[in-house]
């Protein structure tokens, strides 16, 4: 059971890293840790301490809750809000259109 938990967390780390188009080296640099630590975490070869988990979450722009459970939390919404505050009206309009279209596609079962 515990092995499955760490394997799933490792998958989430890897998926998020790839979604951001980061190499393991780049994530390690952002998180101020070795590439081996990132690799071992992604492959469930090593348990992450709370400090390293927090560093990886911050480097990936998600909450530790998401990495641990796969469920987005209020902390993730706050991260999104912080990022969108910097958008001008035109940029925010594009984002709003994108989100609306994406939700429609989800509702239609396309995504």
Tell me: do 96 and 48 sit in the same domain.
Answer: no
How far is residue 21's CA from residue 95's CA, in Å, rounded to a whole number?
A: 20
Tell me: do 51 and 91 sit in the same domain.
Answer: no
How many Cβ atoms sit within 10 Å of the Cβ of residue 43?
A: 14
The pLDDT of residue 1 is: 43
How far is residue 26's CA from residue 105's CA, in Å, rounded to a whole number?
A: 33
Tell me: do 8 and 54 sit in the same domain.
Answer: yes
In this prediction, residue 51 has a pLDDT band, given cuts at 50, 70 and 90, of very high
How far is residue 80's CA from residue 70's CA, in Å, rounded to a whole number?
A: 17
What is the Cα gyration radius of the chain? 16
Tell me: do 67 and 103 sit in the same domain.
Answer: no
How far is residue 54's CA from residue 62's CA, in Å, rounded to a whole number?
A: 9
- What's 65's domain CATH number? 1.10.260.40
- What tokens appear for 108 in the block? 């239609």
Contacts of 89 (CB under 8 A, 6+ apart): none
How many separate domains does the chain show? 2
- Domain of residue 80, residue span: 76-107
In this prediction, residue 78 has a pLDDT band, given cuts at 50, 70 and 90, of confident
Tell me: do 6 and 36 sit in the same domain.
Answer: yes
What is the tens place of the pLDDT at every residue in 10-49?
Answer: 999 999 999 999 999 999 999 999 999 999 999 999 888 9
Tell me: do 33 and 64 sit in the same domain.
Answer: yes
């Amino acid at each position: 059971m515990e092995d499955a938990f760490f394997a799933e967390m490792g998958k989430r780390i890897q998926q998020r890293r790839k979604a951001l188009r980061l190499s393991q080296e780049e994530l390690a640099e952002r998180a101020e840790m070795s590439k081996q630590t990132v690799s071992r975490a992604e492959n469930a070869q090593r348990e992450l301490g709370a400090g390293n988990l927090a560093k990886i979450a911050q480097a990936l722009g998600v909450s530790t809750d998401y990495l641990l459970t796969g469920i987005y939390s209020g902390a993730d919404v706050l991260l999104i809000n912080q990022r969108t505050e910097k958008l001008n009206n035109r940029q925010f309009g594009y984002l709003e259109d994108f989100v609306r279209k994406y939700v429609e596609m989800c509702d239609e079962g396309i995504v």
